[in-house]
Amino acid sequence: MSALSGFENELRKGLEEYPVKPGEKFSYGTAGFRTLGDTLESVLFKVGILAALRSKSCGGKTIGVMITASHNPAEDNGVKLVDPRGEMLDTSWESHATDFANAPSLDAFIAILEDFIRSKQISLGTPAKVVYARDTRASGPKLVAALRKGFAAMGAVATDAEVTTTPILHYLVDTINTTTQEWNVNNLIEGYYLKLSNAFKRLLADRGTSAHLLIDCANGVGALAAKKLDDFLGESLTLKLKNTSVESTEKLNKDCGADYVKVGQKLPPSLTSELRPGQRGCSLDGDADRLIYYYLDDSGKFRMLDGDKITTLVASFIMRLVKDAGLDDAEEKIKVGVVQTAYANGSSTRYLSERLPVTCVPTGVKHLHHAAAERYDIGVYFEANGHGTVLFSSSAQHKVASHKPSTAAQATALGRLKDVINVINQTVGDALSDMLLVEVALYHMAYSVETWDKLYSDLPNRLVKVKVGDRNAFVTEDAERRLVRPPGLQAKIDELVRRTGGRSFVRPSGTEDVVRVYAEAKETEAAIDLALRVAGLVYDEAGGDPAQRPADFR
Ligand code: 16G
Ligand code: MG
What is the tally of structural domains in the chain?
Answer: 4
Classify residue 196: in a domain, yes or no: no
Question: Do 14 and 156 reside in the same domain of the chain?
Answer: yes
Question: Do 98 and 136 reside in the same domain of the chain?
Answer: yes
Domain end, chosen from 391, 426, 453, is at 453
Whether 70 is catalytic: yes
Classify residue 298: in a domain, yes or no: yes
For 392-437, what is each residue's pLDDT tens digit?
A: 999 999 999 999 999 999 999 999 999 999 999 999 999 999 999 9
For 274-288, what is each residue's pLDDT tens digit?
A: 999 989 999 999 999
For 502-554, what is each residue's pLDDT tens digit?
A: 999 999 998 888 999 999 999 999 999 999 999 999 999 999 999 999 999 99
| Parent domain of 257 | 204-305
For 179-192, what is each residue's pLDDT tens digit?
A: 999 999 999 999 99
Mean pLDDT of the 321-348 span: 94
For 467-507, what is each residue's pLDDT tens digit?
A: 999 999 999 999 999 999 999 999 999 999 999 899 999 99
Q: Tell whether residue 273 is among the known ligand binding residues.
A: no
Q: Tell whether residue 54 is among the known ligand binding residues.
A: no
Question: Do 138 and 171 reside in the same domain of the chain?
Answer: yes
Taking 90 as the threshold, does the pLDDT of residue 219 lie above it? yes
**pLDDT at residue 5, rounded to an integer:** 82
Closest ligand 1 atom, residue 368 Cα: 11
What value does the mean pLDDT of the chain take? 96
Domain of 508, CATH number, reads: 3.30.310.50
The Cα-based distances of 78 to 37, 82, 251, 333, 523 in angstroms read 7, 13, 18, 42, 38
Classify residue 191: in a domain, yes or no: no
Question: Do 397 and 312 reside in the same domain of the chain?
Answer: yes
Indicate the pLDDT class of residue 206, thresholds 50, 70 and 90. Answer: very high
Taking 70 as the threshold, does the pLDDT of residue 1 lie above it? no
Question: Do 288 and 326 reside in the same domain of the chain?
Answer: no
Question: Do 49 and 157 reside in the same domain of the chain?
Answer: yes
Domain end, chosen from 305, 324, 357, is at 305
Tell me the C-alpha distance between 446 and 190, whole Å: 31
Question: Do 364 and 498 reside in the same domain of the chain?
Answer: no
- Tell me if 171 sits within 8 A of 196, measured CB to CB: no
209: left (phi over 0), alpha (psi -120 to 50) or beta: beta
Domain of 365, CATH number, reads: 3.40.120
Taking 80 as the threshold, does the pLDDT of residue 463 lie above it? yes
Specify the long-range contacts of residues 189-193, CB closer than 8 Å, at least 24 apart. Answer: 189/161, 189/164, 192/168, 192/425, 193/228, 193/229, 193/232
- Tell me if 149 sits within 8 A of 45, measured CB to CB: yes
Mean pLDDT of the 26-50 span: 95
Amino acid code (one letter) for 412: T
Mean pLDDT of the 453-458 span: 97
HEC string of 273-296? CCCCCCCEEEEECCCCCCEEEEEE
Tell me the C-alpha distance between 291 and 306, whole Å: 8
**pLDDT at residue 228, rounded to an integer:** 98
Angle at 87 (CA atoms; ends 356, 471), nearest 5 degrees: 85
- Tell me if 386 sits within 8 A of 291, measured CB to CB: yes
Question: Do 83 and 153 reside in the same domain of the chain?
Answer: yes
Classify residue 120: in a domain, yes or no: yes
Amino acid code (one letter) for 284: L
Question: Do 361 and 227 reside in the same domain of the chain?
Answer: no
Q: Tell whether residue 285 is among the known ligand binding residues.
A: yes
256: left (phi over 0), alpha (psi -120 to 50) or beta: beta
- The answer to whether the CB of 31 is under 6 A from ligand 1 is yes
- Among protein residues, the one whose CA lies closest to atom 3 of ligand 1: 364
Closest ligand 1 atom, residue 510 Cα: 17
Taking 90 as the threshold, does the pLDDT of residue 208 lie above it? no
- Tell me if 139 sits within 8 A of 255, measured CB to CB: no
Domain end, chosen from 238, 272, 305, is at 305
- The answer to whether the CB of 512 is under 6 A from ligand 1 is yes
**pLDDT at residue 210, rounded to an integer:** 84
For 30-40, what is each residue's pLDDT tens digit?
A: 889 999 999 99
Classify residue 190: in a domain, yes or no: no
Classify residue 445: in a domain, yes or no: yes
Question: Do 520 and 412 reside in the same domain of the chain?
Answer: no
Domain of 238, CATH number, reads: 3.40.120.10
**pLDDT at residue 3, rounded to an integer:** 77
Q: Which of 431, 444, 460, 441 is nearest to 293 (CA)?
A: 431
Classify residue 329: in a domain, yes or no: yes
Classify residue 295: in a domain, yes or no: yes
Mean pLDDT of the 452-476 span: 95
- The answer to whether the CB of 364 is under 6 A from ligand 1 is yes
Q: Tell whether residue 219 is among the known ligand binding residues.
A: no
For 50-77, what is each residue's pLDDT tens digit?
A: 999 999 999 999 999 999 999 999 999 9
**Closest ligand, as measured to the CA of 31:** 1
Question: Do 534 and 404 reside in the same domain of the chain?
Answer: no
**Closest ligand, as measured to the CA of 71:** 2
- Tell me if 80 sits within 8 A of 31, measured CB to CB: yes
Tally of CB atoms within 10 A around 532: 18
Tell me the C-alpha distance between 376 and 393, whole Å: 8
- The answer to whether the CB of 385 is under 6 A from ligand 1 is yes
For 75-126, what is each residue's pLDDT tens digit?
A: 999 999 999 999 999 999 999 999 999 998 999 999 999 999 999 999 999 9
For 229-239, what is each residue's pLDDT tens digit?
A: 999 999 999 99
For 374-391, what is each residue's pLDDT tens digit?
A: 999 999 999 999 999 999
**pLDDT at residue 31, rounded to an integer:** 85
Question: Do 387 and 472 reside in the same domain of the chain?
Answer: no
